[in-house]
Amino acid sequence: MDKCIQDLAEGWREEKELYDLLLILSQRGIFDADFQLGLTQLAQIAKDKSRVPYLQAQECYAQKNYQEAAVFMRKALQYRGISYDYWNFMAQICQQLGDIEGQYYWAALVTVHGGESYASINLPLDNPKALRVVGQARLNPCSMPFYVQFYEQDGKLTDAYGNLAGQYLADENEAGYRDFCGVYNPRQCLNARAAVASLLDDAHFFPHGYTDFPFDIMRCREEKQIQVECPPGRTCIVPIAAQCAGQPIYFQSGDDRKGLPADKWEFAYFRCEAGNTVISSEKAFHVAEPIWLGHDTRRKKLVLNILTDGLPWQAVKKQGYKSVPNIKRFFSKGVIFDNNFSVSEFTYPALAAIETGCYPYRTQIFNDNVATKLSEVFPVISEQMKALGYYCTNLLSDSAGLFNGVLRGFDRSIPQQLTCQAYEAVERCIEHLDAWTEVDNYVYLHISDAHPFSTNIKLAPYTQVSLPWQERILDEYGTTSVHKKRNALNMTENQYSIAHMDRLLGWLFDYIEEHYAENEYIVNLYSDHGVSVYDKDNYLLSENQSGAALMVRGAGIPHLGLVEELTSVLDLYPLMDKELGFTIPCKTDGHLPKAFGGQGRRYAVSMSIYPGQTFKLCLRDEKYEFRLETKAFTQMSGLVDMRDYSVHIYRRDNFEEVFAEEIRSRFMGEAVKHIQSFAVFE
């Protein structure tokens, strides 16, 4: 065991001994001077920052100060989001506060992941709101807008999948605007999408059965009449969705009154100009926040973030960029970070890291089977852009960041399950920019063409007709994307999909260059991880699998083209801060690259914190690649037993293994910084 790990183990045992003592005292209701002294000592030495606020919450609870106990518990959950003890205690606090939905949500997490029966929480079949939060806790957090329905059938408790079309996604702030789930209808038959959503709901389709069925989510409130007052010289757009097909909605300004039959759960836009407009209906309808038109010289007219899910930039680089001529041409007039790496091996934790600029052990977003939420202390990119006054739209994404709050700042989100194809993203984006020329736009696109999928997703026709059947039919059905093997089928499909995506993005880039001056826009293109299909050896954090894209172009961006500076996708956050001026209340882990006047970074850090598998950490500097892997599996909570681990170091240029003690010591010192908050030694 390395000296730095020995020191970490000694500190962990000291911390645990003190914590266990304080926990016993708190459970006995003893919060005397000795307890307070111990709490102060624990705060000074604790690597697990959740322990002190948990004990403080225990003290507040004992004093019947339940509001303050909830504040401390939210802080504890910020540092350790997955914990049976914390969930149980939070359920008790919510019960004392009369927060029925919160009580059942936290209790349901314990039930779902502890293998208990729902009878243990006494399901409230007469409380639809509580039932729904239990149903959402039952699903993984990538399943949005879905839940599990509970009902009695033939005297037995039955559950089945359902969607939330036509409903509000949460009940907090009921007097204000809440996320309403409509159905997305670009330009098709009116009311048909709502009918399909109802049919799928009645058939209890599994969420993946909704592939290519987009929902449309906006912050709304339910009203029968609203009044829109536009001051002189001001204009706004009012989005409205009806609750019934053909529902009459009336508009009146002065003596001018007209009505139209509105569309069930489909948003339509109405322009209100100077004066007073009354909008009414006999039945309630859903109205989103008015979108006020106008530009501000402190903003750009367009900020476009394109997440090219799974684009393996290091593999693209080795192939001479032949599959991405349009991407390379466009961003060569900006900066292409050619030595860039992801934080995680799959989208769920990587997206949270990108959107916050913080590592997964800080966001606590790493387990895609547990429905936990990102702490509000981390402002995500869309929240930053909303605060700057942009009209923020997520025109295409999967639902990985919706429930957990990673994509919580958008005025509008159009999610769908699994596949997010470039042709849809580009079409939606261009139509959106055509329509919304009078606002400053922040647009987010999540494109999945480059992402290998399991065999339940259709192959491109090009791949199907290019390969003989012997190479087309493989024995890897059900293999998850991060473990797909190197073979002709997977490589052909990936290379064609990347080239096809690039061709479509070329259309979007041409549109931007034709409609915006260089100082009016910023485009950021990046990927959350790479792919395994080019690897001969199976290593989850390989250069191909963690090599990710990061490139920027537009107002204030230097024209450097390809640069070899070592970067991480975490660095997008400080890059956007430099470009646009964020307000950052907490320390982030991103580094502003030297190409933008920053200090840059010494190490690109990639990690796999995946419960049920070994923990893996990969550190890269300019010369070396350091790999650490535990023998023990990562626990559901993200804790990792560090008593037994292996280390290998390789030269990045020729992959020759290196055994120099001083190099190992340097990398181990950096590794400890990243593992100390979740390392255990038992």
- Is 211 or 289 the better-scoring residue by pLDDT? 289
Band of pLDDT at residue 241, cut at 50, 70 and 90 = very high
Helical residues (DSSP H) of 473-571, grouped into ranges: 488-515, 543-546
- Is 255 or 66 the better-scoring residue by pLDDT? 66
pLDDT at 627: 98
- 20-34, 78-92, 122-136, 387-401: the lowest-pLDDT one: 122-136
The residue ranges of DSSP E strands in 535-589, in sequence order, are 550-554, 561-568
In this structure, are 579 and 432 located in the same domain?
yes
Give Cα separations from 510 to 266, 426, 505 (angstroms).
31, 11, 9
Give dist(CA 12, CA 348) in Å, integer: 29
Q: Give the rounded percent of residues in the chain with a pLDDT score beyond 70.
A: 98
Band of pLDDT at residue 477, cut at 50, 70 and 90 = low
Give dist(CA 64, CA 68) in Å, integer: 9
Band of pLDDT at residue 91, cut at 50, 70 and 90 = very high
- 87-91, 116-120, 590-594, 675-679: the lowest-pLDDT one: 116-120
pLDDT at 250: 97
Tokens encoding 506: 């070329």
Average pLDDT value for residue range 493-508: 96
- Asked if the peptide bond before residue 585 counts as cis, ω within 30 degrees of 0, the response is no
Nearest to 239 by CA among 217, 258, 213, 267: 267
In this structure, are 361 and 241 located in the same domain?
no
Instruction: Let me know if residue 153 belongs to a domain.
Output: no
Helical residues (DSSP H) of 562-642, grouped into ranges: 572-580
Assess whether pLDDT exceeds 60 at residue 174: no
Domain count, the chain: 4
Last residue of a domain, one of 31, 65, 98: 98
- The domain that contains 451 carries what CATH number? 3.40.720.10
Instruction: Let me know if residue 108 belongs to a domain.
Output: no
Nearest to 479 by CA among 546, 529, 531: 531
3 state SS of 483:
helix
User: In the structure, how many helices (H) and strands (E) does the chain have?
Assistant: 20, 25
Average pLDDT value for residue range 46-55: 98
Instruction: Let me know if residue 559 belongs to a domain.
Output: yes
Contact 411, 291 (CB under 8 A): yes
Mean pLDDT of the chain: 94
In this structure, are 205 and 308 located in the same domain?
no
Tokens encoding 47: 């690597």
Instruction: Let me know if residue 131 belongs to a domain.
Output: no
Instruction: State the residue for tokens 């998850």.
Output: 480
pLDDT in tens, 439-474: 999 999 999 999 987 667 888 999 999 999 888 887
pLDDT at 287: 97
pLDDT at 123: 79
- The domain that contains 86 carries what CATH number? 1.25.40
pLDDT at 157: 77
In this structure, are 356 and 427 located in the same domain?
yes
Give dist(CA 101, CA 174) in Å, integer: 13
Give dist(CA 471, CA 476) in Å, integer: 12
In this structure, are 264 and 358 located in the same domain?
no
- 147-156, 174-183, 269-278: the lowest-pLDDT one: 147-156
Q: Which residues pair with 641 in a beta bridge?
A: 680
pLDDT in tens, 531-540: 999 998 889 9
Nearest to 249 by CA among 263, 265, 230, 229: 263
Average pLDDT value for residue range 19-47: 97
pLDDT at 126: 82
Last residue of a domain, one of 238, 260, 292: 292
Instruction: Let me know if residue 608 belongs to a domain.
Output: no
Element (H, E) at 422: helix 422-435
Question: Residues 571, 573, 577, CA angle at the centre, nearest 5°?
Answer: 120
In this structure, are 627 and 579 located in the same domain?
no
Q: Give the rounded percent of residues in the chain with a pLDDT score beyond 90.
A: 80
pLDDT at 478: 59
Nearest to 380 by CA among 168, 194, 550, 572: 572
Give dist(CA 88, CA 106) in Å, integer: 7
pLDDT at 55: 98
pLDDT at 453: 79
The residue ranges of DSSP E strands in 190-267, in sequence order, are 215-230, 236-242, 247-253, 256-262
Give dist(CA 495, CA 460) in Å, integer: 11
Q: Which domain holds residue 288?
A: 178-292
In this structure, are 587 and 660 located in the same domain?
no
3 state SS of 271:
strand
Q: Which residues pair with 150 in a beta bridge?
A: 159
- 32-41, 138-147, 420-429: the lowest-pLDDT one: 138-147
pLDDT in tens, 558-572: 999 999 999 999 999
Give dist(CA 377, CA 355) in Å, integer: 13
Instruction: Let me know if residue 163 belongs to a domain.
Output: no
Give dist(CA 89, CA 92) in Å, integer: 5
Helical residues (DSSP H) of 295-366, grouped into ranges: 313-318, 325-331, 347-356, 360-363
In this structure, are 448 and 571 located in the same domain?
yes
User: Is the dihedral angle over the CA atoms 98, 104, 106, 111 positive or is it negative?
Assistant: positive
pLDDT at 348: 95
Nearest to 463 by CA among 430, 439, 498, 438: 498
In this structure, are 557 and 621 located in the same domain?
no
Average pLDDT value for residue range 493-498: 94
Instruction: Let me know if residue 388 belongs to a domain.
Output: yes
In this structure, are 372 and 471 located in the same domain?
yes
Tokens encoding 461: 């026709």
pLDDT at 117: 63
In this structure, are 402 and 313 located in the same domain?
yes
Instruction: Let me know if residue 132 belongs to a domain.
Output: no
Cβ neighbours for 620, distance < 8 A, ≥ 6 positions apart: 341, 566, 603, 604, 606, 626, 652
Assess whether pLDDT exceeds 70 at residue 172: no
Cβ neighbours for 83, distance < 8 A, ≥ 6 positions apart: 50, 77, 637
Helix-helix angle 661-675:3-27, to 10 degrees:
20
Start-to-end C-alpha separation, the chain:
15
3-state helix, strand, coil in the chain (%, to 5): 35, 25, 40
The residue ranges of DSSP E strands in 569-636, in sequence order, are 604-608, 614-620, 624-633
In this structure, are 287 and 309 located in the same domain?
no
Last residue of a domain, one of 98, 129, 157: 98
pLDDT in tens, 614-630: 999 999 999 999 999 99
Nearest to 360 by CA among 606, 194, 572: 606
Average pLDDT value for residue range 72-98: 97
Band of pLDDT at residue 173, cut at 50, 70 and 90 = low
Average pLDDT value for residue range 35-64: 98
pLDDT in tens, 306-327: 999 999 999 999 999 999 999 9
Give dist(CA 131, CA 535) in Å, integer: 46
Contact 13, 681 (CB under 8 A): yes
- Is 166 or 479 the better-scoring residue by pLDDT? 166
Band of pLDDT at residue 65, cut at 50, 70 and 90 = very high
- The domain that contains 269 carries what CATH number? 2.60.120
| Residue 351 backbone dihedrals phi, psi, to 5 degrees | -65, -45
